[in-house]
Structure 1
Amino acid sequence: MERYLAFSFEELPFVLLVLIIAFTVHEFAHAYSAYKFGDPTAKLLGRVTLNPARHVDFLGTLLILLAGFGWARPVPVTRENFSRPRLMGIIVSAVGPLSNLLIAFIGAVVYAGLLVNGVLDVAATSRGSEAFNIFFEKLIQLNVLLFLFNLVPLPPLDGYRIVEDLAPLRIRRKLQQFEPYSIFIFLLLVFIPVLRDNTIGRLGIWVYEISQAMFDFGVGLFT
């Protein structure tokens, strides 16, 4: 069974906990910013909340456990309710991924501080240290992954919505013609090794580099 998962059994409880945190904050950021900009759609549907049950998507969570990529329940946004639909639409789309980047940054700084001050042992000589090490590593890496992955310009990801709001109307209409096929394109990119390795699979390199840079910054703050 374990060989079919993107994570080991030992990591699964920490991965699930991190995903609940990451997905909840991500979707809350969308819902809250849209509400503040004048769109009550998410508020009326009970999405302006930090209750994970309102945001976590079973299929999206399962897919991230199996393939390393997934999603939460999208927050519905009615851009026509914004006073400046395109600009505010871009901001609402962007705050989700940025919230994941912020979680990763805070996690990296806290983790670095705990290690530098000897509260945690990087060698994981105790069960407690091992658990915290796994938790912080997944907290940082998965949130950086979600930040990058959600910026991919493929519907229904945030990167596509940003491109859509930036594009001229003529281009937007052409892009919208491909939206019904986006899920099939996404599944091809995830499950066909050649396509995955040459597209979203490359995100792993950036996840490592960004995560390491954040951790190094945190170490620098405490040394």
Structure 2
Amino acid sequence: MGHQGGRGERQISSVFLGVVAVMAVTGWAVWTDYAHSAGLAVFLFVTSAWVVSLCLHEYAHARTALHSGDLSIGAKGYLTLNPLKYAHPLLSVVLPVVFVILGGLGLPGGAVQIERGRIGGRWKHSAISAAGPLTNVVFAVVCTAPFWLGALDGVPPAFRFALAFLALLQVSAAILNFLPVPGLDGYGIIEPWLSPRIRRELAPLAPFALIGVIALLWIPGVNEVFFGVVRDLLSVLGVSGLDTYCGHGLYRFWEDARDSFCTVPASGA
């Protein structure tokens, strides 16, 4: 008989609420320039918002799996939005945050363990894999809403730049997640539709695929093409290269290389 779960299995964790509180307070600090140091506030705001998006990404996987038939999800703590409950907190939260700090890349993480044998139907398996990166897409749309709605009047420059950089992280994470590479969500979407033979042959590649993708992104030509696609998508959403450049510069406040330039509001909406 399936495990139905209790209320505690779905109660939002204090860890997640704490991260949301940090995001809210630092977002307010960026908006009001409370600390008169936009860089540190932008760093804390974007990092906490990024962690929130990682939690929501994994929650989307888990919630979709629950409704698709895997009733073991609740007992594993995945419905509490607590990142410490993930199968690999290091890969799911710490490593993506490190990559944001080092290179401004929205790295996808692998976290929730889903008992696929409990789920029937290829469409359900595809939906579970798609739910995570679609969360990044929604997050990107929300972050860029002031840009494509032309609602930037009155938005402080630092907050505008922070939203632009956060949107860049979400778009890059969505693109990487949707790649049809074993171990990534994009492959999880198409995997149910592949023959058993092909799945068996590709399965051993899963643990190394993400490492391979990261290695490719270190190649200047590949990196330029990838971020060119990211910038093109952001441009469609009304976010300019200047916005993301300044956002990244403010985020890396310890370099203090772009603050004087990026405190000037960008022209146009």
Q: Please state which band the TM-score falls in when normalised by the shorter chain.
A: 0.7 to 0.9
> Which residue of 2 is the match for residue 32 of structure 1?
63
Displacement of 1:147 after TM fit?
Answer: 0.9
**How far apart are the structure 1 equivalents of 2:208 and 2:72?**
26
Q: 1:154 aligns with which of 181, 203, 227?
A: 181
Q: 1:61 to 1:89 in 2, by over 3 A?
A: same
Deviates more, 1:19-28 or 1:44-53: 44-53
Question: Any stretches of 5+ residues in structure 2 without a counterpart?
Answer: 1-38, 87-91, 240-268
Is residue 227 of structure 2 the alignment partner of residue 204 of structure 1? yes
**How far apart are the structure 2 equivalents of 1:212 and 1:21?**
24
> Which residue of 2 is the match for residue 109 of structure 1?
145
Which amino acid in structure 1 is aligned with residue 46 of structure 2? V
**How far apart are the structure 2 equivalents of 1:176 and 1:130?**
47
SS at match of 1:115: coil
> Which residue of 2 is the match for residue 71 of structure 1?
108
Describe how 1:77-116 pairs up with structure 2 within 5 A. 77-84=114-121, 86-113=122-149, 115-116=151-152
Which amino acid in structure 2 is aligned with residue 64 of structure 1? V
**How far apart are the structure 1 equivalents of 2:149 and 2:79?**
32
TM-score by length of 2: 0.63
Describe how 1:163-178 pairs up with structure 2 within 5 A. 163-178=190-205
Q: Which has the larger radius of gyration?
A: 2
CA offsets 1:88-138 (integer angstroms, 9 cap, x no match): 11100001111111111122224444735x222xxxxxxxx1331122102
Q: 1:119 aligns with which of 146, 150, 154?
A: 154
Question: Any stretches of 5+ residues in structure 1 without a counterpart?
Answer: 1-8, 121-128, 217-222
Q: 1:52 to 1:144 in 2, by over 3 A?
A: same
SS at match of 1:32: helix
SS at match of 1:215: coil
Q: 1:37 to 1:181 in 2, by over 3 A?
A: same
> Which residue of 2 is the match for residue 18 of structure 1?
49
Q: 1:189 aligns with which of 198, 202, 216?
A: 216
Is residue 89 of structure 2 the alignment partner of residue 62 of structure 1? no
**How far apart are the structure 1 equivalents of 2:238 and 2:47?**
22
CA offsets 1:63-102 (integer angstroms, 9 cap, x no match): 3332424233421111111131x22111000011111111
> Which residue of 1 is the match for residue 161 of structure 2?
134
Q: Is the 8 A contact 1:61 1:71 kept in 2?
A: no
> Which residue of 2 is the match for residue 6 of structure 1?
none
> Which residue of 2 is the match for residue 213 of structure 1?
236
**How far apart are the structure 2 equivalents of 1:112 and 1:186?**
31
- 4+ residue stretches of structure 1 with deviation over 6 A? none
Deviates more, 1:48-57 or 1:29-38: 48-57
Which amino acid in structure 1 is aligned with residue 59 of structure 2? F
